[in-house]
A = this chain, B = another copy of it.
Amino acid sequence: MTHRLSDELICPVYRLQNIIGGKWKIIILYELSTQTRRFNELQRSIPGISKGILTQQLRELEADHMIHREVYKEVPPKVEYSLTTLAQSFIPIIQSMDEWGRKYLES
Which chain A residues have a beta carbon within 8 Å of chain B's beta carbons?
5-9, 11-17, 19, 21, 23-24, 26-27, 30, 47-48, 86, 89-90, 92-94, 96-102, 104-105, 107
Contact = CB atoms under 8 A, between A and B. Distances in A.
B96 A15 contact: no
A17 B13 contact: no
The count of identical subunits is 2
A79 to B, nearest CB: 24
A6 to B, nearest CB: 5
- Interface SS, A side: helix
A21 to B, nearest CB: 6
B13 A26 contact: yes
A3 to B, nearest CB: 9
Contacts of A101: 12-13, 15-16
The 5 closest A-B pairs by CB, nearest first: A12-B101, A16-B101, A6-B48, A12-B102, A15-B105
